[in-house]
Chain A
């Protein structure tokens, strides 16, 4: 086992710092050279030798990974790279075969998922999970913490939990307004569209007042008109002092909002760094696109160039009827 976790006692290093504006904080994220598994100046999550095998296949085999505090970190990689599995392992929804990992210096080994959430590490799911037969408002209230009425012994008497309920409702109202769901608050969550459910799930996670928000494909299935507002919401989380870790396939979004990008392939961390640099990294282009690597994935110009190049390629489906967005090309071209 590595001793990394003890060296990075988060509180010790963090407490000495002056208050900073997290939006404009331009200090180096990495402690030294950006490389897979590199040390961070101020990590919130540190994972060591985390492995998880399904049958004979190693779904996750992460030697060392640190998530920088107060930053937006993107976790990218092709399908089956182990991104969601790593999410499940970090949040206690799955148990790794080996390894140790800490959140703010506290070990999370063997800690159950609900306790992880209470510590301030809250996740959303790739397949959105809303409570369909509860109203949007009830969904939101469910996320709140410190409601004494959630204890059976106090639930009978409204006098005990009524005042906290009012505070929770106000908090939920504010968030719903931000997420443009306030008109829907008395509707059943099942009546929301896919994109609205993504928004509700994110808003509900924020009711917990987390320190680290982990979003599993927040843009999947979201209408492009909503994308921009979702991006703004995620950026705002950083402004409010939260740390964000998200899984995403949309390179535009990654480039747009991420401060740091971690690339996984076949369960391993293959590259790390600021988005601009990582997307030029041959290992990343290889993992995502196979042979056609001399493009910048986060940039519309680069994608156009790639499409033009693929059109000239006889083996490519680009330019034919089947050709669509990059993801389609990616599936065909990946080795």
Chain B
């Protein structure tokens, strides 16, 4: 068992495009839940909308990359409106029910066999990422951590998008607009009594967080070169909530740090468990079981965090003192 390899693997995992995608989607959840109090349990649905809208439009109509991107964003906006119009006037829990159902409905629709020519059913779609990699400015060669120029390009783009999203969300949340959102999170009737159109603000927040989710879906799917419905199940949303809670709910960098911790813990535990099994120290489980055990350990880590640091890594302890 080589600890340097294990640590290197964890570091590589922290910078992987999947981590960037999780960070971006969790940031969208921070806009929804952390800042506006919108209980969105369908962030996986927003990611699926982004990924499928891009893949379908690229494969069906051969649109250029940038048009595919725009279509994905527009679809996420429409999805947010469909979810928000009937539910945002109601109490927060209704949005939770509708979003979790909508994300599942979406996943079952793309899995439908009748739609195979369009969505590829359970096998999903592939070979739509060409337009993206054609934009790669990095010449072939070896990049840090043994990456190819494709790997490097995906990571640079993914993390630049995360950084830009963080900047925009930070600018928004320090503005009076963000203040109204935080007020809505605390008590929407009080905000209403001060003359603010609560419904419009909630809708705007739902759309912004949803668009971040759709971008995350693209960052998630482009390096894989494939989009499959199984990747967008309900558990994805709960992993995103794990990232959000790990990092701190109403923070900008919390979701990013949370996603990194999430994947680093998964990678480290995998490396250590596999190492122990291969070296014969641990004999009562095999590597397949160890793969499942990692998620149990993530759950334990989240529980420990909630007990000893309930505000998350970056959260403000004072905010919880009155909860």
Contacts and interface: CB of A to CB of B under 8 A. Distances in A.
**Which of A149, A161, A205 has the most chain B CB atoms inside 10 A of its CB?**
A149
B182 A134 contact: yes
A142 B191 contact: yes
A149 B179 CA distance: 10
Interface in A136-191: 138-139, 141-143, 145, 147, 149-152, 155-156, 158, 161, 165, 188, 190-191
A141 to B, nearest CB: 6
B193 A91 contact: yes
A91 B191 CA distance: 13
A247 B321 CA distance: 33
Contacts of B177: 149-152, 155
B189 interface: yes
A204 B196 contact: no
Nearest to A145: B195
B176 A165 contact: yes
A91 B193 CA distance: 8
B171 interface: yes
B192 interface: yes
A125 B186 contact: no
B180 interface: yes
Nearest to B189: A129
A280 B171 CA distance: 60
A113 B179 contact: no
A156 B195 contact: no
A253 interface: no
Contacts of B278: none
A141 B176 contact: yes
B235 interface: no
A123 interface: yes
A149 B176 contact: yes
A122 B319 CA distance: 28
A75 interface: no
B183 interface: yes
A158 B173 CA distance: 12
Contacts of B190: 125, 129-131, 201
B186 A134 contact: yes
A131 B178 contact: no
A165 B174 CA distance: 12
B319 A131 contact: no
Nearest to A139: B183
The range of chain A's interface size is 35 or more
A113 B192 contact: yes
B322 interface: yes
B198 interface: yes
Contacts of B193: 91, 93, 113, 117, 122-125, 129, 205
A191 B322 contact: yes
Given A122-B195, A142-B183, A208-B195, A155 B171 contact: yes
B322 A133 contact: yes
B204 interface: yes
Contact of A147 (B176, B187, B197): B176
Interface in B269-323: 318-319, 321-322
Contacts of A205: 193-194
Interface in A183-214: 188, 190-191, 201, 204-205, 207-208
B320 to A, nearest CB: 9
A152 B194 contact: no
Contact of A117 (B179, B186, B194, B319): B194
Given A125-B189, A152-B177, A156-B171, A118 B182 contact: no
A124 to B, nearest CB: 8
B109 interface: no
A166 B210 CA distance: 33
B2 interface: no
B88 to A, nearest CB: 14
A204 B183 contact: no
Contacts of A143: 194
Contacts of A155: 171-172, 175-178
27 contacts: A91-B193, A112-B197, A114-B194, A117-B195, A122-B195, A129-B187, A131-B183, A133-B186, A134-B179, A134-B186, A138-B182, A141-B179, A142-B180, A142-B196, A150-B179, A150-B196, A155-B171, A155-B176, A156-B171, A156-B175, A158-B175, A161-B175, A188-B319, A188-B322, A191-B322, A201-B190, A205-B193
Given A93-B193, A114-B194, A155-B171, 15 more contacts: A122-B195, A130-B187, A131-B182, A131-B183, A132-B322, A133-B319, A134-B186, A141-B176, A151-B177, A155-B177, A156-B168, A188-B318, A188-B322, A190-B321, A205-B194
